[in-house]
């Protein structure tokens, strides 16, 4: 699917399955309103395939896993035309971040399905919107900033400034 045909619904970040890098992924919709996903950026050294993949195809591929066995990224390998072996694991991390999958206790690379009802409702609302959501344009995407938790240093600075203001005013 070409980039120009896709309407980006959401751009988000998450840690890779190994936790060694931060991934940026996108959810988008094609002209026929099919929801797609792709990996668009990786802060680590691992290569990835940035092609859009229909979410229904991802779910079908994962459903082929053996009942009672953990889902692994190996099930997604057939969806990608050549390219990187990292992409399936990166997609698993993004699906986990979207709460479509959950990491099994004690299994770093084993996952299980979660109820997709909330995710599906959210995607339907985004697909139906006429206004482009935040992160949908390339200029907005470049300016998107991920909020980080305040560091100890930042917290100490804020408290010091607050104390100075209080002592001057009061």
What is the per-residue pLDDT across 145-167, written as a single tens digit (0 to 9) for each? Answer: 444 555 656 666 666 655 555 55
pTM, rounded to two decimals: 0.69
Q: Minimum mean pLDDT among 5-9, 80-84, 95-99, 160-164: which range?
A: 160-164
Question: Which range in 3-7, 76-80, 108-112 is most confidently predicted, on average pLDDT?
Answer: 76-80
Nearest in space to 75 (alpha carbons), one of 36, 101, 114, 99: 101
Helix (H) or strand (E) holding 46: none
């Amino acid at each position: 699917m070409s980039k120009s045909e896709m309407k980006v619904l959401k751009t988000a970040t998450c840690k890779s399955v190994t936790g060694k890098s931060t991934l940026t992924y996108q959810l988008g919709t094609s002209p026929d309103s099919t929801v797609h996903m792709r990996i668009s950026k990786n802060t680590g050294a691992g290569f990835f395939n940035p092609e859009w993949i229909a979410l229904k195809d991802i779910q079908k591929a994962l459903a082929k896993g053996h009942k009672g066995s953990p889902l692994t990224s190996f099930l997604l390998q057939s969806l990608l035309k050549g390219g990187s072996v990292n992409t399936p694991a990166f997609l698993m991390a993004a699906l986990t971040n979207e709460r479509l999958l959950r990491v099994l206790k004690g299994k770093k690379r084993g996952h299980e399905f979660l109820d997709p009802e909330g995710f599906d409702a959210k995607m339907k609302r985004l697909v139906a919107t006429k206004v482009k959501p935040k992160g949908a344009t390339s200029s907005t995407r470049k300016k998107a900033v991920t909020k980080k938790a305040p560091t100890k240093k930042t917290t100490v600075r804020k408290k010091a400034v607050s104390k100075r203001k209080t002592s001057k005013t009061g």
